[in-house]
Every structure is written in C-alpha cells, then in structure tokens.
Structure 1
Amino acid sequence: MNALISSDETWLLWAFLVGWAAVSIYLEQRFEWASKLSGAIIALLGAMLLANFGILPVEAPVYDAVWAYVVPLSIPLLLFQTNIRRVWQESGRLLLIFLISTVGTVAGSIAAFFLLKDLIPGLPHIAAMITGSYTGGGVNFAALASRFDVPGETVSSAVVADNFLMAVYFFVLISIPAIGFIRKRFATPHMDEMDGSDETDDTAAASYWKRKEISLSDIAMAVGTSFVIVAVSFKLAEVFRGLIPEDGNAFMVILRGIVGDDYLMLTTLTLLLVSIVPRYFERINGAQEIGTFLIYIFFVVIGVPASIPLILQNAPLILVFAAIVVFINMLISFSVGRLFRFDLEEIILASNANIGGPTTAAAMAISRGWTKLVGPILIVGTLGYIIGNYIGTALGLWFSSAM
C-alpha cells in the first residue's frame, strides 16, 4: 500500500512523530477530555488513523530508529529517581500477576489452535511465534521465527496481525481506568494517589507535570548520563552473549538470556548506579520529563503498523487467532487478579507486559502517572524474554505433532 509520505522521507516522518507527540501532550494537559482519554491514546490513534488513510507508511527506517535508540534512552531517564527498596517490594506482586497473565496467553493459544488448526496453513509455527510474542514482546517473535525457520511471507502476515492486536489492546488497557464500573471493583492505590494530589483547576496530567526549575546543566547531565548508561549496558550484554554459548545446557541458556539481554542489563545497571550514587541522580532535574517525552514518540510509532487494509489482505484468520489469545489473556488476568485482590494498575501492566513487552508496559505506567511501578514492571517484564522462548518452542513442537 503506497502512502502519501514515503518511507524514505526521513525529516517529514520525524517531524510527524515528534510533532504529534508534542500535540498529544499539549492536549492532555490543556483539556479535561484529553486528560481522561490520555495523551498516549491520542498519540496512538492519530498515527493509526493517518496510516489507515494512506498518509503515513506502515514501515520505515525512522520507526526502527525509535525502537532502537529513543526507547532505550528513555528508560534510564525514567529510573533516575527510582526508590530501589520500593522496586523490590513491588516486583514480587507484579511477578505473580505477570505469571498468571502468562497462563492466560498459553490457555488462549491452546484454545485458538484447536479451534482454527484446520483453517490456517502452518498454524503450529504461527502459534509458537504469537505465543512467544504475547509472553514478553516482539523479541520472542523474531527468535521463534528463526527457531522454526518460518517462511518469510508467513512471518510478514503474522507480524501485521501481532502489531495490530498489540496496538488495539494497548488502547483497551489504557482506557480501562476511565471506566467506573471496572474501577469500582478493584483497588486502585496509584490512581487514588494521583487523584488526591490534584488540588488545582488543571487537568490531572497538567497537575502531575507541573513546571519545575531546570538548568542547562540538568539537561546535559540527564541526556549525557543516559547515553553512557545505554552504551555501556548494551555493550556488556553483547559481551556476555559472546561469552556464553547459545546452544549450551539449560542453565547456560537461561543465564545467557538474563545477562545477555539488552533491556534487562540496562534496567539493572541503571538501578545499581542509582543505589550507589543516589545524590548524583537526585540533583538532576527534568530527567523524568525528557524520558516521558521520548516515550510519547514511542506511542506514536506503536499506532502506525495497525493497518486494517493489510490485515484484511494478508492475515484475517491469523488476526482471529491472535484476538482469541489476547481475549483469554485478559479474561484470566482480570478474573484471577480480582480473585486474589491485585491492584487494577498491577493487572493492567502485567497483561500489557505479556502482550507488548516491558517497554510498552513501562510506557503505559508513565503515561498514567504510576511512576512507582515503572522500575518493577521493567524488571518483571524482561522475564518474558526468557520464558517466552521456552513456552513458544514447547507449544510449537506440541502443535506440530497434533497436526
């Protein structure tokens, strides 16, 4: 599908991504309706609409650059003010609900496979890729596509369905806190804290993101430190991946997945530095604001691949398969979460970390002002990178034998 703006129009695409992120933030802080909808949804919907009306291309190197550079840079910035003790306290609860949500993904994949196995060619391998993706994000999708040597056209169709469902589900999850019927049935301590701190006539977003003193030195130290942490973290992860064999025993594979993962190393190193030299990071103003703006650019990119014409053309039944998996994940996450009295924010982020990965879950936490959960969900969400490959491989082999 040819778009009005071609994929090689680098400056025009950057102008849209950054400009629309800025507009989304402005609307969120200026108007009550936009604050309730959230800037993240505005950013995502705007991109989705323009992609579906043929204005924006659904693939472009600029989008890849956001995933490769903008998102990693945002993570340290958002963790500079993190309370390490609180991270570990919150991680235990989030880990449990994350694993419950993972059970939902597995149950959904099994149900969807036996419903559709006679209708979709190559479904065992498609199911493996989507199961891995919906256990921890797109990193697992790529790994399992390589593991089962899936044909390129099948991978492309599954990617379109995967991305579309992720964008739609992101929209659903981020809208849930505004639904009174659901909110009344769950504990919502993080939302209650934000509501209690809003004592002005501003929108909730404007009240949370109040103007603060910031200097050139703050900007320099925030951005410079983030670049250094990302570079060192990714290099360390690369070194460990090179030292630990990919085809070793189970322990070595797990160890490689932990110390060789870029985002887990990035999160761990940042939290370690913040705990060792807390006063250095406490003195930096504006890091959270800069990191949040970068995350809003990421929100725009999430909405772009959700192309309905491509879905209808290439992968309608794969979309049905993915939708069943997402629906059962959501059903189990929220029903079991309510049964065991998990907070609504924890359930939303755990399910998001399953379907979209730790970066989308952290982005959602930031956009809603649940800053105390950003560090914990990043840590817990990266577990999906490890277990997702095992779960996807196991189901892929089982489904292949069932055909």
Structure 2
Amino acid sequence: MLILLVLFFLGIPFLVLHLCHRFRYVNKLGAVVVAYIIGVVVGNVGILPDGSAGVQEAMTSLTIPLAIPLMLFSTSLADVFKLARVTFVSLLIGLVSVVIMVVSGYFLFTDDMTEPWKMGGLLIGLYTGGTPNLAALKLMLDVDETVYLVTHSADLVMGVFYLFFLLAMGQRFFSKFLPKSVVAESDRLTHSLDGQDPYYGILKRRFLVPLSKGFVLSVLVVGISVAISFLVPEEAQMAVIMLMITSLSLSLSFLSPVRRIPKTFELGMYFVLVFSVVVASMANVATLMAAALDVLYYVAWVVFGSLILQLLMSRLFRVDTDTMIITSTALVCSPPFVPVVAAALRNRSLVVPGLTIGIVGYAIGNYLGFLLAMLLRSW
C-alpha cells in the first residue's frame, strides 16, 4: 500500500502538468497552486493509509535536495556581470528592500508566533528566490509543515493582488515618480511572450537521455553533500547539506556540458511539485486557518512594503520605471512571471535581465535566508 502511495505522489505532478498544458485557466492558476490544492484535499479527507507519515517525511527530505542541483545546473552566473549598471543597481535595491521589510516585520508581527526567526528566514528565501528556496529553507530550518504551508498560502494570496497591480496600473503609477523607460522599436512587444510550454516533449528520447545524466549528477551532488555533513554536529547537518548542494551545483554550472543539458530546470520543478503535493498532504486545515492571519499580515508587509521601499530608492538612484518593475517581479514573483510582465510592459529587452535577476535570486536565496534566520535567532 505504501508503494502505491509513493507512486501516487510521484504521479500527481504529471497530472497537474497535463492539466496546465491542456486548460488555460488551470495554467493561469499555476502548477504549484494546483499541486497544493490536491495535496490538502488528499491529506484531509482521511484516505491516506496507516504509516503514510514515514513516506511523507522521506519524500519531503529527498525531493528538494534533488531539485536544487537540477534547477541550478543551467545557471549562467557570468551573465550577472553582463547586466547593465542600472539593472545591477536595481537588483541590489530589491534585495536590500526585502531584507529591511522582513527584519522590520519580524518585530511587528511575530509576537504570537512560535520560533518566528524561522519565518523571517523563509520569507527572505521566498522573496529573493522563490518556492524552491522556501522549500529548501523549510528543511534547513526544520520548519513545521503547517507553518510552511501557511507561509506559501499567504504568499499566493498577496501575490495575486501584487501581480494584478503591476499588470493593471504599475507602469502608469511608477512612471509618475521614476524616469520613463526608453524602448527601442525592435524591442516593443505587440504579442505575449508566454505562449510556450517548457515541459512539452520532456519525455522524448532526445531530452530523456541527457536528462538522465543530469539526474545522476544531481544524485552525486546530494551524496557528496550528505557525506560532508557528517563532519559537523547533527543539529547542523541539514543546513550544511543544503548549503553544500547549492554551492556544488553552482560550481558545476560553470562547466558548459553541464549547463547545456536541456530541461534540467523543468525536471527540478517536477520534484518541487512532488514536494508540494506531499507537504500539502501533511497540513491540518484547522491549524492552517488558525495560524494564517498573522502570517498574512507579515507577508503583506514584506511584499508591498518592499515595493514602496524599492520605489523610493529607485527614485534616489535614477532607476527607470520598467527596470524597477521587472526587478521586483523577478524577486517577489520568481522568473516564470518575468515574460508575463515584460509582455504587459511591451518591452522585450526586459526578459533577459529579468530572468538573470531571478536566477541570481534562486542562487543566493538559501544563503541569505539561512544567514538572516540565524541572525534573528541570536537577536
């Protein structure tokens, strides 16, 4: 029965991705959101067999360590140094804004929270990187499943309002305070950039063979990281494992044969979806609802507070409107939303720097989140 449960958790992401590919309204909702919904339903209707907790714990511990290398192998850190000065300044402003709002929110909204320093670390990882960093920091900081799910649910709620504001009126509003962006005619978009499904054909032989090599390499990275973790005390082992995985994966990304393996990021996201289904199935809905309000306030403070702070600093450093918006999108919403917002801004030249900023966020999110959590813990 437990073997069937493992196969069920591994199979649900295929269903989710198929639904996203087949139905536009499901795709707009997002694969991670659909995975969470299915997981919460499965975990709260009483159909899970006895002994499922052990399977769930094992799968949450394995999936994210496997996902991180796959998602980072295609990173081109050299692109960071090619960013225009204004884009690099905007990236630094965005990172500083998030850190300031997370730290200030820690003192405003966490009086009733247990181990609030963990929440601070989670939010840093989430809003400098994204869901993979949030999931990694859950393991690194030993965060309760319900706290993790409440945090991500609050992010989804605030993310809807944030993205709606950016798409509907962000450019008009921010251009009142910031220099207007100069867009070359060749970069002016008249159509959407978001029409291609990156998972399409991933199981075909031309992708499957090189992907299997990428997966084996990911397993080796995890194995080496686990081996190194035995050199430190037990309570620090998970943090060392995740930091070593991140560091080794980024080191391997400098090798062209590794960086050019196709679809590694998508395979990594598959494991993130597996993690999402499993961790959502471990959440108790009653506890979720009781804990949600304080976290929602904290998340709203970080999301919209960092946007306002970014606006003020961007005005000071003369960052243009479109660059400020795409930087905020890449950090707060993660790279997949960059083409969507670039299309709304009708500026194709934003796509590459926006994606680069988002990938930098993925790369540093674990480090920043863990470091800030430790600093808040010792405060």
TM-score above 0.5: yes
* 2:362 is the alignment partner of 1:378: yes
Q: Does the 8 Å contact 2:75/2:253 carry over to 1?
A: yes
* 2:294 is the alignment partner of 1:321: yes
Superposed displacement of residue 46, structure 1: 1.9
One-letter amino acid matched to 2:328: I
Matched residues in 2 for 1:77 and 1:196: separation? 34
* 2:34 is the alignment partner of 1:42: yes
- Cα-to-partner distance string for 1:224-273 (whole Å, 9 max, x where unaligned): 1111122223434554x46xxx9xxxxxxxxx99xx73333222222222
Given candidates 294, 303, 308, the residue that maps to 2:271 is 294
Paired residues for 1:49-60 under 5 Å: 49-56=41-48, 60=53
* 2:154 is the alignment partner of 1:169: yes
Matched residues in 1 for 2:39 and 2:212: separation? 31
Matched residues in 2 for 1:29 and 1:14: separation? 24
Superposed displacement of residue 331, structure 1: 2.5
Q: Which shows bigger deviation, 87-96 or 299-308?
A: 87-96
- Cα-to-partner distance string for 1:160-203 (whole Å, 9 max, x where unaligned): 652242231242365457636645415999xxx9x88868xxx8
Q: Does the 8 Å contact 1:107/1:328 carry over to 2?
A: no
How has the CA–CA distance of structure 1 residues 291 and 322 changed in structure 2, closer, same or farther, with 3 Å as cutoff?
closer
How has the CA–CA distance of structure 1 residues 263 and 387 changed in structure 2, closer, same or farther, with 3 Å as cutoff?
same
Match of 2:74, SS state, is coil
Matched residues in 2 for 1:34 and 1:81: separation? 27
* 2:301 is the alignment partner of 1:310: no
Matched residues in 1 for 2:100 and 2:42: separation? 35
Q: How many residues align?
A: 331
Superposed displacement of residue 73, structure 1: 1.4
* 2:106 is the alignment partner of 1:109: yes
Given candidates 174, 189, 195, the residue that maps to 1:204 is 195
- Cα-to-partner distance string for 1:345-395 (whole Å, 9 max, x where unaligned): 64356457xxxxxxxx6899999998645541233212110121112331x
Q: Does the 8 Å contact 1:98/1:351 carry over to 2?
A: no
How has the CA–CA distance of structure 1 residues 372 and 55 changed in structure 2, closer, same or farther, with 3 Å as cutoff?
farther
Counterpart position of 1:230: 222
- Alignment RMSD: 4.4
Superposed displacement of residue 295, structure 1: 2.1
- Cα-to-partner distance string for 1:27-61 (whole Å, 9 max, x where unaligned): 11112112222222211222223334444589823
Q: Does the 8 Å contact 1:163/1:306 carry over to 2?
A: no
Q: Does the 8 Å contact 1:163/1:305 carry over to 2?
A: no
Superposed displacement of residue 76, structure 1: 1.8
5+ unaligned residues in a row in structure 2: which ranges? 126-133, 175-180, 315-320, 342-350
What TM-score, normalized by structure 1, do the two folds share? 0.65
Match of 1:291, SS state, is helix
5+ unaligned residues in a row in structure 1: which ranges? 1-8, 146-157, 247-255, 353-360, 395-403
Matched residues in 1 for 2:68 and 2:32: separation? 17
